[in-house]
Amino acid sequence: MGKIIAIANQKGGVGKTTTSVNLAASLAAAEKETLLIDLDPQANASSGFGVRVGENVASVYEVILGLIPAEKAIQRFDYLQHLALIPSHIRLVGAQVELVDNPRREYCLREALEPIRDDFKYILIDCPPSLGLLTLNALTAADSILIPIQCEYYALEGLGQLLTTLRLVQKELNPELGVEGVLMTMFDQRLNLSRQVCDEAHGYFGEKVFKTIINRNVRLSEAPSFGKPILLYDVNCIGARSYLALAREIING
């Protein structure tokens, strides 16, 4: 049975989508069957793989509303045979309103993924930067949550709200939900601030902080504009090496 990991932080600009795209590609490069679900209406994870979803193309919107089975929305890539994607579309914005009257609204994604869960070793969910119904669906469906934290001012601000939501989900919706790990992103070794934020995170989360740190890297920032994960854009850069190391950490448990 595949392991479902929600990549979430309601704070924007923390490297959440960058992590979703590049971790998925790195797991696939390690020959692990990997599915990335783009659950953000902005569809940045989809465009990070060069996927632009038109009006008549199936997306996660149709999946979460139960209009089509999840397998009908999966897209594959010739360049990474172990990678699959369920893309997003701006119409996903309306899903939160359309799901409100559904008595099992928090379980829609979980139930949609059940038929395909055994087809993948890892299923990653790129969550929107909010703690709304879409993120609740991701946390209810997931086995664990991966929390990216940027090494900048106010990095830990708002985390209390995320952890409160996490505990609520564990209590009411998904008692098996655990913390996969905390990932430090946008680290700049020249700055004392980066080291201070890392120290704070270690003090707060202890061993849940991944050993791998994602350094601030220009090539990593450029890759999405070419519709490529960093492994295909510049496999030799520090960003690519970092995400491959993160994938190894997750695979090795």
Tens digits of per-residue pLDDT, 149-196? Answer: 998 878 777 788 889 999 999 999 999 999 999 999 998 877 888 888
Could you read off the pLDDT of 17-73 as tens digits, one per residue? Answer: 999 999 999 999 999 999 999 999 999 999 999 998 887 789 999 999 999 999 999
Closest CA to 79 of 212, 238, 226: 226
Predicted confidence (pLDDT) per residue in 109-158, tens digit:
999 999 999 999 999 999 999 889 999 999 999 999 999 999 887 877 77
Give residue for tokens 């997003």.
Answer: 88
Six-digit token string for 19 = 């992590």
Sequence-separated contacts (24+) of 76-79 with Cβ below 8 Å:
77/49, 79/232
Distance, CA of 21 to CA of 31 (rounded, Å): 16
Q: Locate the domains of the chain by residue range.
A: 3-252
Which two structure tokens, joined as six digits, stand for 141?
Answer: 């469906």
Residue 175: predicted pLDDT: 97
| CATH architecture entry for 3-252 | 3-Layer(aba) Sandwich (3.40)
Residue 185 to residue 212: CA distance in whole angstroms: 9
